[in-house]
Amino acid sequence: TMEFEGELPKQRAFAVEYPGHVQNVQRMVDTLGGEAAIAEARTNNAPLLELRFRPADPLSHPLFGDVHPTTSNLLLKITRTRKRPVASESIAAKEG
């Protein structure tokens, strides 16, 4: 049997599927309407999330993304430490 120890964080997380390679996170947030628009979409007050590749250009046409409620998914990162052989043990193994 395996035993697990630890605490789950109290913070809630969400995911945004962005149609492009993100090099600057702040610019990505701005193209989605800012933190206020993302927060509004998260609380289900807005049915769509608007994406404008040129947010400063009033003539740019937006792309609309649907907001999907998530289930109780949990993302875990499990790491395992491995013991490295001591240098004297590896030398003795090569000689023997």
What is the model's pTM? 0.57
The closest alpha carbon to 38, from 59, 58, 57, 65, belongs to 65
Q: What are phi and psi of 87, to 5 degrees?
A: -55, -40
Query: How many angstroms separate the CA atoms of 2 and 17, rounded?
Result: 34
Q: What pLDDT is stored for residue 27 in this prediction?
A: 93
Residues 6+ apart with CB under 8 A from 44: 67, 69
pLDDT 10s per residue in the chain (96 long)? Answer: 566 677 766 776 677 788 888 899 999 999 998 988 888 887 766 778 889 999 899 898 998 887 776 656 666 666 777 777 666 655 555 655
